[in-house]
Amino acid sequence: MPKTTVLFASNIDDPAPWKALFARERPDVEFRIWPEMGDANDITHALVWRIPNGVLKSLPNLRAVFSLGAGIDQIVVDPDFPREKPLFRLVDAGLREQMTEYALYGVLHWHRRMRDYAAQQAAQQWKMHPAVHPSKRSVGVMGMGVFGSDIACKLASLGFEVSGWSRTPKSVDGVTSFAGEKGFSSFLARSEILVNVLPLTDETRGILSTRLFDQLPGGGALVHLGRGGHLVEADVIAALDTGKLDFAMMDVFPTEPLPAVSPLWTHPRAFVTPHIAAQPVDDAAEKLVIENFNRFERGEEPVGRVDLSVGY
Ligand code: NDP
Ligand code: OXD
């Protein structure tokens, strides 16, 4: 039986803690770091954020792929991704609380007019704006999975009127559920604040477009922390320019880092963050991956198996 060998590949993650994890928990496993792959025949498992197209397909003894992220679009974008191999993603792994913090921060930032008050402070202007009770503020959460359902729940607990949109209907206390293409227009029509936490799939690519912005009540806010590929940058700029959207807080962009020429950097109604809504903290991701790895090796089902037929 050939030795178990893990190939680690990421352009954003430090391999050191992962190497140490395997050395500690699975000293029997060899750990290699892309591009120092050695003999392709040796690789049995891949631990990946992003790897050049075609590499995974070139591994004849590959048994499974583990994503270093909750999303997997950056892996399956490879046209040669070996779709018959099991692919597992991070489920929560310490990211959920951060995603919820980010979404709530964006909602509250706009709801409490903090952008206006910051501008007023800069101008040394003392001026009160009327308050709006959260029950009069409707928030729509696109994507009601691990992150979206937590965001929706917490927003509802603050008294907002919350709706959620997902592929299949959901039952979350205090949250009105809309599902699929059929429920989409009604969901948008009541989303004064729209929070996007969808995965990027063939169905959701480019969803944040003029077609969508036109269906919102108008003059509201977008909080976008899903994936860059959801956003049509020219359309969000047009929506901000025309006041269809009053404010957009965005964490992910079609090109990352956001290019210096992007008008979003300096747009007065845009709030840009560099893909930091959730980042690995402590060793939650490491714990999940090693548990999943061990389960897989024992022939048990790991958590977070991706269903490639729906793309997430
Ligand atoms: P889940 O798979 O748990 O949830 C996905 C949700 O989206 C589900 O509710 C699903 O519906 C819904 N959905 C998928 N496709 C469609 C569709 N075509 N129409 C309507 N609803 C759809 O994912 P997570 O919550 O764990 O993660 C969501 C995304 O967050 C990740 O894929 C990633 O892109 C992003 N992310 C961003 C980070 C950041 O720092 N900005 C960090 C981590 C992740 P259903 O429930 O019916 O299956
Ligand atoms: C993820 C991310 O998918 O950090 O986990 O974006």
Residue 227: pLDDT band (50, 70, 90) is very high
What is the C-alpha R_g of the chain?
Answer: 21
The residues that are catalytic are: 227, 275
pLDDT of res. 309: 97
Q: How far is CA 105 from CA 108, 136, 153, in A?
A: 5, 18, 15
Ligand 2 centroid distance, CA of 63 (Å)? 23
Q: Is 225 in the pocket of ligand 1 (CB under 6 A)?
A: yes
Q: Which atom of ligand 2 is nearest to the CA of 90?
A: 5
pLDDT of res. 196: 99
Find the ligand nearest to 223 CA: 1
Percent of the residues in the chain that have a pLDDT greater than 70, as a whole number: 99
CA–CA gap between residue 296 and residue 294 (Å, rounded): 5
Find the ligand nearest to 229 CA: 1
Ligand 2 centroid distance, CA of 265 (Å)? 22
> Against a cut of 0.95, is the pTM above it?
yes
Q: Is 147 in the pocket of ligand 1 (CB under 6 A)?
A: yes
pLDDT tens, 150-172?
999 999 999 999 999 999 999 99
Q: How far is CA 27 from CA 21, 24, 64, 67, in A?
A: 9, 6, 19, 21
Which CATH number applies to 95-272: 3.40.50.970, 3.40.50.720, 3.30.70.890, 3.40.630.10? 3.40.50.720
pLDDT of res. 2: 67
CA–CA gap between residue 111 and residue 220 (Å, rounded): 9
Ligand 1 centroid distance, CA of 238 (Å)? 26
Judged by DSSP in three states, 144 sits in coil
Which amino acid residue places its CA nearest to atom 4 of ligand 2?
69
Averaged pLDDT for residues 266-282: 96
Q: Which atom of ligand 2 is nearest to the CA of 227?
A: 6
pLDDT tens, 100-151?
999 999 999 999 999 999 999 999 999 999 999 999 999 999 999 999 999 9
Per-domain residue ranges of the chain? 5-93+280-297, 95-272
Mean pLDDT estimate for the chain: 97
Fold agreement between 5-93+280-297 and 95-272: yes
pLDDT of res. 291: 98
CA–CA gap between residue 154 and residue 160 (Å, rounded): 9
CB 96 within 8 A of CB 75: no
pLDDT tens, 26-42?
999 999 999 999 999 99
Query: How many other CB atoms are there within 10 angstroms of residue 228's CB atom?
Result: 19
CATH number of 5-93+280-297: 3.40.50.720
DSSP-assigned letter for residue 209: S
CB 95 within 8 A of CB 67: no
Which amino acid residue places its CA nearest to atom 29 of ligand 1?
199
CB 309 within 8 A of CB 87: no
pLDDT of res. 255: 98
CB 228 within 8 A of CB 259: no
Which amino acid residue places its CA nearest to atom 1 of ligand 2?
69
Averaged pLDDT for residues 193-211: 98
